[in-house]
Amino acid sequence: MSNLALVRAEKDEFFAEHPQSPLTQVQQANFDGLEYFPENSALRFEIDGSLRFRKVKPRFGGVAGVKHPPHPQIWEPPRKVSKSQIDIEKFSPQEMVSIQTSTGDTQHYTRYGKIGFSVEGQAATLTIYESEYGFFIPFVDALAGSETYPAGRYLDPELLPNGKLAVDFNLAYNPYCAYNERWSCPLTPFENRLKVPIRAGEKIFE
């Protein structure tokens, strides 16, 4: 079993059996596993850019009264990285912004920088945000509403020992509010609404 397959199997187990699963008990009783796109090595990148190491708090897929621990996500350095090494364009100044949530609340993030990359021959850019939980990329792609969650998916870039940032769309996941209305999740800002399809990561939950 590949590292990615192991991550997905552990996540399914957490969703199906754990008392802190984002699913309701009724949903857990009928849960057959999450749907994913096949692994896509072309959507796995390393970003160069003098990134700093820091301690971060665990991220949550959503908030429902008491914060619950995130679903299991294991990062293993990919064995095959896209040959398209991309750079980050850091914003100056790096402004603090408020992002609305699905329940009308707001959460605060720093607009850290922008990355540009290619998807199936088409250019795309995404803004990377930063908070006390680390780096964060919420995004909506061209498949939203048909194959991916309409309000967008999340990606948590990982800082590697070499100071580069790993951006692996195969690890893109749905916010907890994609599963039911108990959760409050940040909505994707307009600047991260892509016109290209991201055929990697988690699909829409049905």
CA dist 44 and 40 (Å) reads 7
Residues 96 and 179 both lie in one domain: yes
Residues 97 and 20 both lie in one domain: no
79 contact partners, CB below 8 Å, separation of at least 6: none
Predicted confidence (pLDDT) at residue 191 exceeds the cutoff of 90 = yes
Residues 94 and 7 both lie in one domain: no
Residues 95 and 170 both lie in one domain: yes
Predicted confidence (pLDDT) at residue 20 exceeds the cutoff of 60 = yes
What pLDDT does 164 receive? Answer: 85
Phi, psi of 184 (to 5 degrees): -120, 120
Residues 5 and 48 both lie in one domain: no
Predicted confidence (pLDDT) at residue 71 exceeds the cutoff of 50 = no
Tally the domains of the chain: 2
Using CA of residue 34, residue 35, residue 41, residue 43, what is the dihedral sign? negative
Length, in residues, of the chain: 206
Position 10 in a domain: yes
What are the distances in angstroms from CA 34 to CA 7, 148, 206? Answer: 12, 12, 9
Residues 129 and 152 both lie in one domain: yes
Residue 178, classed as helix, strand or coil, is: helix
Residue 156 DSSP label: -
By percentage, how much of the chain surpasses pLDDT 90? 69
Position 99 in a domain: yes
Residues 1 and 50 both lie in one domain: no
CA dihedral 178, 147, 106, 168 (to 10 degrees): 100
Residues 100 and 202 both lie in one domain: yes
pTM (2 decimals)?
Answer: 0.83
Give the model confidence (pLDDT) of 75-90 as tens digits. 333 334 444 456 789 9
What are the distances in angstroms from CA 46 to CA 53, 86, 110, 192? Answer: 16, 6, 21, 19
Residues 4 and 49 both lie in one domain: no
Position 177 in a domain: yes
Residues of the domain holding 180: 39-54+85-206
Task: List 129's β-bridge partners, or say none.
Answer: 111, 136
Position 45 in a domain: yes
DSSP string, 105-119: -EEEEEEEEEEEEEE
Give the helix/strand (H/E) hosting 126.
Answer: strand 122-131
Give the model confidence (pLDDT) of 82-137 as tens digits. 444 567 899 999 999 999 999 999 999 999 999 999 999 999 999 999 998 899 99
